[in-house]
């Protein structure tokens, strides 16, 4: 009797998991063997006596078609979601018959998302792969060694007979039983964990280099050819891509779903809560529409996510196979390509990705270092970019021994992803990266091969289409990038002098973007800026007593930003001043805060603008309400440029990708575009609110040229607002332009008009010929048939070809009507081809005015920051600082100043004077522990920053000369990662101050020398004070070394001040217990003691210990006084009598 087999559905599971019910190498007979019994694909052998059961079972299976269920979002909801299935396309289901029954699979349910079931129409789903091939592949690939040995043992006849008598219920139970290597066994025995080439001691990169090789590339993995040849076609694709992107989680597109396999599926289950599908190896997935959600979750957890799309459909694959000379089974699978690799530093705004919530930039940094053999100092080349905006920053600079400039760069533009040349960075630089950027992704790249040389970088830019004009096909280098090209090389393959490292850093960045398939959309924007360290203008010049080279902005290095708490979520200056309504306004505020202006005219223009805004509360509230409705226009411009880039559509895999939710994505693109247009329409309303203003900065910011600097966007904006029906475009996902918008579309419309006019004229002639009513009838390819009343048909000539008839009418074709039909069809094809690309062309035309839109966004960002300053000024009592900009008068005089980040009603205000009001430039500050010394120092620093930003400050008055840099040495802590002790950190920071401080600098030193012995600390503190008095820079120097106060109490170069307190003494058993009340007031003079025992009492130190410590302190103080008196007695010209009198009193005590 012939063998009968149940019909097997063409599903994803069966494609990747080939059946193992038959071993084709041994026998083709349908008899049951040991290999028939596998957990997931058990075989049932029919017999004559069971024929009826077989028929019943087959009918039952036809009723219960296996559907592709979406895996549950969490395992706990698995049972609840079993019935929420998506139907498959079953058009090809009956074409194949195999001997296994299909086990169920599960998928997550994505709430509130429209995702249809999997469309199993691909020819790769087991098509063109014989059963024997499929069985052989799966048997050799997926069976663990333990299972192979078990299956290789022959079974007795009785066991064979038992297997033959498997019932339908038993078969179902076997399907539902968990696989021995599946998640039910704990997930620690997945097959991929046992693959020999993935074992930690045997793993190699794609060049077969072991981990011990210095050139080992951890981003790739070697997969043996023999292993690949035993895979199914699509799984072979997956392993090839995985070998190239081993450090990425692959979102592998299969139909309408992204699939995760093996180690990626384990990550998906762990991090995303996606349930495993049934099977022996790890496998999970989710619908295409949920890509943005799940990719974002992994990226935020530090993973790299690679999106792989199908770039062929089955028809295209079949056509490719027809034209190929030699076709293997591995060719009979649709092509798939990497379309995007995303990390926290390379995220871009696409229609699939969710909107980036954080307004601040996450930078990708490429860095290269060169050490001078003589000076041992480093020169750095850097390139960093915010991929959501697409602006590259290039720079090359020399650094000092403390790497001050590098630290400043990392603080201002903190990267979350760093690439560098392997073996290039010095040990100190690596320590900095590992310390400051402990959570960032750090990738070493191979020299020249991955981290390109400067010549290779420029060659890649020349040969690519990055700077090619879409209309003229000419390469136009960005002006800012031309600064990095040598004038002597007409081919643009040689970097300019002192720019080689910067170009090389750009090469490392481009390589990474190219490997992530992001280069085209970012480089083609042509946005390049030169990064110059803020201290460049004076650090390399010889400081003189006559004058100091001017600087454009104040330098805030990494240490100062940390010590003053400029950034952060709690009690930081950014948090205090940030009342901005827009994301691009927030980014500009942070930029201003990183680089406060040193130009008096700029500061005063901002002050005047903020002052005027404070007197117009109604306008301010109206404008802020409009600003709150603005999207992130800066990122939207980059997004629209990507949508409209022609080269990307032609050359990028995304241009070839088969997207099953393409209609949704097309609608999203149009929504983005319309959102941008509506945003700029709001911008035009905002600037009209300031048609009458006095402030020069407000005029420049809000008035259209030539009265101001705001670009005239009204005409261009109106063009795009009326170019098409916005509501209709959002509904259908396609732009149908109005007349005059697109020349090619207008040409197609004119052709329709011509055909219509000619056909109407011809119809009139026919009506005259037949002497009656004649009309055109028909649809699709049968249009333009002449319908003639039957009573007039006798006038038809030989030119009229009868096509059909209906009651009372006959239909004819003529040569003319056939021509009309042909022209109509061609015109429609031409129009449809235009409409397919019309969205992109409209976006591209919009992006041609990028500079116009960008300037408008920048001006609105300035207005947003000024309004933020206005909001802060209204929230507290503030004043307008008086700015002084000359070398003769350098001072800081603040009356009733308050800490800007401490919003307390009982906060004590203070007057602070440095180099003013008969105060020396250096003030030694003493006072009790916890008396407010550090708070006062931070207060002075923050008020200085605010003043030079152009903001009003919380004080009754302020007179301030321009400060070129703020240095801080506050707090005490060691650095375990760099192996530096507390005292070494103190001295390193102090050395930076002494090396770089100028007459215009502000220095804040808190308790220098506390990290070592009293004598050494006092000596170092005294020497530093002496050096700073010679520099004449404004300095607040707090200390508990009271001997230092004694040394400088008569010096004209040093003033003394302390934080006032009230002391109450209680005597108990001849031991005085002092109770200190902090007044937090900055007053002239010196504090006699530090009252450390009061701090000990407040800290909860037992009273017994405090009393004992007090006794010891009195004894030590007495001995110190005696030594001082004896020393004074020995000096010449001393008042001997008074000293002897004091000495007697001391001895008596």
Q: Express each pLDDT in 915-935 by its tens digit.
A: 987 889 999 998 887 788 899
Domain shared by 1047 and 1134, yes or no: no
Conformation bin of residue 990: beta by default, left when phi > 0, alpha when psi is -120 to 50: alpha
Q: Which band of pLDDT confidence, cut at 50, 70 and 90, is reported for residue 1016?
A: confident
Residue 747 has pLDDT above 50, yes or no: yes
Conformation bin of residue 780: beta by default, left when phi > 0, alpha when psi is -120 to 50: left
Instruction: Say if strands 1071-1084 and 1054-1068 run parallel, antiparallel, or are unpaired.
Output: antiparallel
pLDDT for residue 47: 37
CB atoms inside a 10 Å sphere around CB 439: 7
Domain shared by 400 and 253, yes or no: no
Tell me if 84 is assigned to some domain: yes
Tell me if 890 is assigned to some domain: yes
Contact predicate 19/130, CB 8 Å: no
pLDDT for residue 238: 96
Query: Average pLDDT of 146-171?
Result: 38
Domain shared by 287 and 423, yes or no: no
Nearest to 679 by CA among 633, 615, 747: 633
Burial of 989 from C-beta contacts in 10 A (0-12 / 13-18 / 19+)? buried
Rounded Cα gap, residues 412 and 415, in angstroms: 9
Facing residues of 342 across strands? 305
Local structure of 892: helix, strand or coil: strand
Rounded Cα gap, residues 165 and 47, in angstroms: 9
Residue 139 has pLDDT above 50, yes or no: no
Question: Given the structure tokens 């690309």, which residue do they identify?
Answer: 837
CB atoms inside a 10 Å sphere around CB 447: 14
Domain shared by 666 and 751, yes or no: no
Q: Express each pLDDT in 794-808 by its tens digit.
A: 899 999 999 999 999
Rounded Cα gap, residues 992 and 967, in angstroms: 9
Residue 320 has pLDDT above 50, yes or no: yes
Lowest mean pLDDT among 566-570, 811-815, 1081-1085, 1130-1134: 1130-1134
Tell me if 501 is assigned to some domain: yes
**Among residues 311, 342, 373, which one ends one of the domains?**
342
Domain shared by 650 and 608, yes or no: yes
Structure pTM? Answer: 0.80
Domain shared by 1079 and 1115, yes or no: no
Burial of 52 from C-beta contacts in 10 A (0-12 / 13-18 / 19+)? exposed
Residue 962 to residues 447, 495, 889, 1053, Cα–Cα distance (Å)? 45, 37, 10, 21
Provide φ and ψ at 159, rounded to 5°: -70, -35
Residue 987 has pLDDT above 70, yes or no: yes
Local structure of 999: helix, strand or coil: coil
Lowest mean pLDDT among 278-287, 293-302, 482-491, 1044-1053: 1044-1053
Looking up residue 930, the CATH number of its domain turns out to be 3.40.50.300
pLDDT for residue 425: 96
Contact predicate 945/573, CB 8 Å: yes
pLDDT for residue 1078: 76
pLDDT for residue 1009: 66
pLDDT for residue 753: 92
> DSSP for 581-614?
SSHHHHHHHHHHHHS-B--HHHHHHHHHHHHHHH
pLDDT for residue 1096: 72
Local structure of 364: helix, strand or coil: strand
Residue 674 has pLDDT above 90, yes or no: yes
Q: Which band of pLDDT confidence, cut at 50, 70 and 90, is reported for residue 1136?
A: low
Residue 866 has pLDDT above 60, yes or no: yes
pLDDT for residue 835: 85
Residue 969 has pLDDT above 90, yes or no: no
Residue 717 has pLDDT above 60, yes or no: yes
Rounded Cα gap, residues 20 and 281, in angstroms: 14
384-387: long-range contacts (C-beta < 8 A, 24 or more apart)? 384/413, 384/415, 384/509, 384/531, 385/509, 385/522, 386/361, 386/362, 387/345, 387/346, 387/347, 387/348, 387/518, 387/522
What range defines the domain where residue 1111 resides? Answer: 1103-1149
pLDDT for residue 836: 82
Token digits of residue 736:
């149908």
Rounded Cα gap, residues 693 and 697, in angstroms: 10
Chain-centre distance of CA 765, in angstroms? 68
Q: Express each pLDDT in 632-673 by its tens digit.
A: 999 999 999 999 988 888 889 999 999 989 889 999 999 999
Domain shared by 43 and 185, yes or no: yes
Domain shared by 854 and 947, yes or no: no
Domain shared by 821 and 919, yes or no: no
Domain shared by 819 and 780, yes or no: yes
Residues 6+ apart with CB under 8 A from 637: 676, 847, 850, 853, 854, 857
Residues of the chain with pLDDT > 70: what percent?
Answer: 76
pLDDT for residue 986: 80
pLDDT for residue 10: 43
Rounded Cα gap, residues 968 and 1008, in angstroms: 11
**979/459: higher pLDDT:** 459
Q: Is the peptide bond before 706 cis (omega within 30 degrees of 0)?
A: yes
Nearest to 900 by CA among 875, 925, 918, 880: 875
Provide φ and ψ at 32, rounded to 5°: -80, 140
Residues 6+ apart with CB under 8 A from 170: none
Local structure of 152: helix, strand or coil: helix
Domain shared by 394 and 246, yes or no: no
Token digits of residue 266:
């384990």
Tell me if 723 is assigned to some domain: no
Rounded Cα gap, residues 123 and 322, in angstroms: 14
Looking up residue 112, the CATH number of its domain turns out to be 3.40.1170.10
Residue 58 has pLDDT above 60, yes or no: no
Residue 584 has pLDDT above 80, yes or no: yes
Domain shared by 418 and 334, yes or no: no
Rounded Cα gap, residues 392 and 350, in angstroms: 19
Residue 152 has pLDDT above 50, yes or no: no
Residue 203 has pLDDT above 50, yes or no: yes
Looking up residue 765, the CATH number of its domain turns out to be 1.10.1420.10
Q: Which band of pLDDT confidence, cut at 50, 70 and 90, is reported for residue 1131?
A: low
pLDDT for residue 781: 87
Query: Average pLDDT of 1132-1140?
Result: 58
Local structure of 1061: helix, strand or coil: strand
Tell me if 842 is assigned to some domain: no
Mean per-residue pLDDT of the chain? 80
Question: What are the start-end ranges of the H helices in 690-805?
Answer: 696-702, 714-721, 726-732, 743-770
Query: Average pLDDT of 1110-1132?
Result: 67
Residue 170 has pLDDT above 50, yes or no: no
Domain count, the chain: 6
Q: Which band of pLDDT confidence, cut at 50, 70 and 90, is reported for residue 613?
A: very high
Nearest to 913 by CA among 960, 947, 970: 960
Tell me if 548 is assigned to some domain: no
Tell me if 951 is assigned to some domain: yes
pLDDT for residue 1051: 83
**704/472: higher pLDDT:** 704
Provide φ and ψ at 1076, rounded to 5°: -105, 130
Each residue of 723-759: b (16+ CB within 10 Å) or e?
bbebeebeeebbbbbeeebbeebeebbebeeebeeeb
Local structure of 181: helix, strand or coil: coil
Tell me if 561 is assigned to some domain: no
Lowest mean pLDDT among 69-83, 251-265, 484-498: 69-83
Q: Express each pLDDT in 71-114 by its tens digit.
A: 434 333 434 444 333 333 333 333 333 333 444 444 444 444 33
Of the ranges 8-22, 814-828, 971-985, the best mean pLDDT one:
814-828
Provide φ and ψ at 229, rounded to 5°: -70, -20
Q: Express each pLDDT in 471-480 by its tens digit.
A: 777 888 999 9
Query: Average pLDDT of 938-943?
Result: 96
pLDDT for residue 551: 75
Instruction: Provide the 8-state DSSP code for 803.
Output: E
Local structure of 218: helix, strand or coil: coil
Q: Express each pLDDT in 335-394 by its tens digit.
A: 999 999 999 999 987 888 878 888 999 999 999 999 999 999 999 999 999 999 999 999
């Amino acid at each position: 009797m012939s063998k009968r087999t149940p019909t097997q559905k063409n599903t994803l599971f069966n494609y990747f998991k080939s059946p193992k019910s038959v071993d084709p190498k041994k026998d083709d007979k349908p008899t049951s063997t040991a290999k028939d019994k596998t957990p997931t694909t058990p075989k049932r052998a029919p017999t004559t006596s069971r024929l009826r059961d077989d028929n019943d079972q087959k009918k039952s299976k036809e009723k219960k078609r296996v559907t592709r269920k979406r895996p549950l979002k969490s395992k706990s909801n698995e049972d609840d979601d079993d019935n929420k299935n998506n139907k498959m396309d079953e058009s090809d289901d009956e074409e194949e018959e195999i001997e296994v029954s299909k086990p169920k699979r599960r998928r997550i349910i994505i709430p509130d998302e429209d995702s249809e079931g999997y469309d199993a129409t691909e020819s790769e789903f087991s098509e063109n792969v014989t059963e024997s091939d499929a069985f052989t592949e799966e048997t050799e690939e997926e069976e663990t060694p333990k299972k192979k040995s078990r299956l290789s043992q022959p079974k007795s006849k009785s066991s064979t007979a038992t297997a033959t008598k498997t019932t339908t219920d038993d078969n179902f139970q076997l399907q539902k039983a968990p696989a021995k290597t599946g998640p039910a066994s704990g997930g620690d025995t997945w097959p991929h964990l046992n693959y020999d080439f993935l074992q930690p001691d045997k793993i190699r990169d794609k060049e077969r280099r072991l981990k011990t090789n210095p050139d080992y590339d951890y981003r790739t993995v070697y997969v043996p050819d023999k292993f690949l040849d035993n895979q199914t076609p699509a799984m072979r694709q997956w392993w090839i891509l995985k070998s190239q992107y081993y450090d990425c989680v692959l979102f592998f597109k299969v139909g309408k779903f992204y699939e995760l396999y093996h180690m990626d599926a384990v990550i998906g289950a762990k991090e995303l809560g996606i349930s495993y599908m049934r099977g022996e190896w790890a496998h999970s997935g989710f619908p295409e529409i949920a890509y943005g959600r799940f990719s974002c979750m992994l990226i935020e957890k530090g993973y790299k996510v690679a999106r792989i799309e199908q770039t062929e459909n089955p028809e295209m694959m079949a056509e490719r196979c027809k034209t190929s000379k030699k076709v293997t089974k591995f060719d009979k699978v649709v092509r798939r390509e990497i379309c995007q690799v995303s990390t926290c530093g390379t995220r871009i705004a696409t229609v699939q990705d969710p909107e980036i919530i954080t307004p601040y930039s996450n930078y990708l940094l490429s860095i290269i270092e060169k050490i001078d053999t003589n000076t041992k100092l480093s020169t750095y080349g850097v390139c960093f970019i915010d991929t959501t905006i697409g602006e590259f920053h290039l720079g090359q600079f020399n650094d000092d021994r403390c790497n001050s400039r590098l630290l400043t760069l990392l603080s201002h533009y903190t990267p979350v992803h760093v690439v560098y040349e392997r073996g290039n960075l010095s040990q100190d630089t690596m320590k900095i990266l590992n310390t400051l950027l402990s959570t960032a992704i750090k990738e070493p790249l191979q020299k020249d091969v991955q981290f390109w040389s400067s010549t290779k970088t420029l060659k890649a830019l020349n040969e690519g289409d990055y700077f090619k004009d879409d209309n003229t096909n000419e390469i136009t280098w960005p002006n800012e990038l031309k600064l990095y090209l040598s004038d002597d090389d007409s081919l643009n393959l040689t970097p300019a002098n002192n720019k080689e490292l910067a170009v090389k850093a750009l090469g490392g960045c481009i390589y990474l973007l190219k490997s992530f398939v992001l280069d085209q959309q970012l480089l083609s924007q042509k946005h390049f800026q030169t990064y110059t360290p803020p201290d460049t203008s004076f650090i390399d010049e010889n400081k003189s007593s006559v004058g100091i080279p001017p600087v454009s902005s104040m330098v805030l290095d990494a240490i100062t930003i940390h010590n003053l708490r400029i950034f952060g979520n709690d009690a930081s200056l950014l948090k205090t001043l940030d009342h901005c309504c827009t994301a691009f306004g927030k980014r500009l505020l942070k930029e201003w805060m990183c680089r406060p202006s040193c130009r008096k005219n700029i500061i005063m223009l901002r002050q005047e603008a903020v002052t005027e805004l404070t007197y117009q509360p109604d306008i301010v509230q109206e404008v802020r309400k409009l600003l709150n409705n603005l999207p992130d226009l800066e990122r939207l411009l980059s997004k629209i440029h990507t949508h409209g880039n022609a080269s990307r559509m032609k050359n990028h895999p995304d241009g070839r990708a088969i997207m099953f939710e393409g209609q949704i994505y097309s609608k999203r693109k149009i929504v983005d575009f319309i959102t941008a247009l509506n945003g700029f329409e709001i911008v035009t309303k905002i600037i009209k609110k300031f048609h009458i203003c006095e402030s020069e900065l407000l005029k420049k910011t809000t008035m259209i040229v030539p009265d101001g600097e705001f670009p005239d966007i009204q005409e261009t904006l109106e063009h795009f607002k009326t170019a098409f029906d916005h509501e209709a475009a959002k509904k259908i996902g396609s732009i149908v332009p109005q007349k005059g918008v697109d020349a090619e579309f207008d040409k197609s419309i004119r052709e329709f008009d011509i055909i219509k006019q000619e056909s109407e004229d011809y119809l009139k002639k026919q009506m005259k010929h037949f002497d009656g009513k004649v009309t055109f009838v028909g649809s699709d390819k049968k249009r333009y048939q002449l319908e003639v009343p039957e009573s007039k048909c006798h006038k038809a000539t030989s030119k009229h070809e009868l096509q059909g008839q209906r009651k009372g009418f006959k239909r004819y074709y003529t040569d003319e009507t056939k021509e009309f039909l042909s022209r109509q069809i061609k015109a429609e094809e031409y129009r449809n081809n235009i409409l397919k690309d019309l969205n992109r062309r409209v976006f591209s035309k919009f992006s041609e005015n990028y500079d116009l839109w960008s300037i408008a966004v920048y001006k609105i960002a300035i207005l947003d920051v000024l309004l933020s300053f206005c909001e802060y000024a209204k929230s507290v009592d503030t004043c307008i600082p008086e700015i002084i900009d000359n070398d003769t008068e350098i001072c800081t005089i603040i009356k009733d100043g308050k800490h800007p980040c401490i919003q307390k009603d009982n906060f004590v205000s203070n007057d602070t004077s440095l180099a003013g009001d008969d105060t020396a430039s250096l003030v030694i500050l003493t006072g009790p522990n916890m008396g407010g010394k550090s708070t006062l120092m931070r207060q002075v620093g923050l008020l200085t920053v605010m003043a030079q930003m152009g903001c009003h400050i919380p004080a009754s008055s302020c007179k301030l000369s321009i400060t070129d840099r703020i240095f801080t040495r506050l707090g005490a802590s060691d650095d375990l990662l760099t192996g530096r002790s507390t005292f070494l950190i103190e001295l390193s920071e102090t050395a930076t101050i002494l090396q770089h401080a100028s007459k215009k600098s502000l220095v804040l030193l808190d308790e220098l020398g506390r990290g070592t012995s009293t004598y050494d600390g006092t000596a170092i503190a005294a020497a530093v004070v002496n050096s700073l008095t010679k520099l004449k820079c404004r300095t607040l120097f707090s200390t508990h070394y009271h001997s230092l106060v004694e040394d400088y109490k008569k010096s004209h170069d040093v003033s003394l001040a302390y934080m006032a307190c009230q002391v109450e003494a209680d005597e108990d058993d001849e031991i005085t217990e002092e109770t200190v009340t902090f007044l937090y007031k900055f007053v002239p003079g010196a504090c006699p003691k530090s009252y450390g025992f009061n701090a000990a009492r407040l800290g909860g130190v037992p009273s017994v210990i405090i009393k004992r410590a007090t006794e010891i302190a009195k004894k030590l103080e007495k001995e110190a006084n005696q030594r001082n008196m004896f020393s004074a007695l020995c000096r010449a010209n001393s008042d001997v009598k008074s000293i002897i009198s004091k000495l007697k009193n001391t001895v008596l005590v």
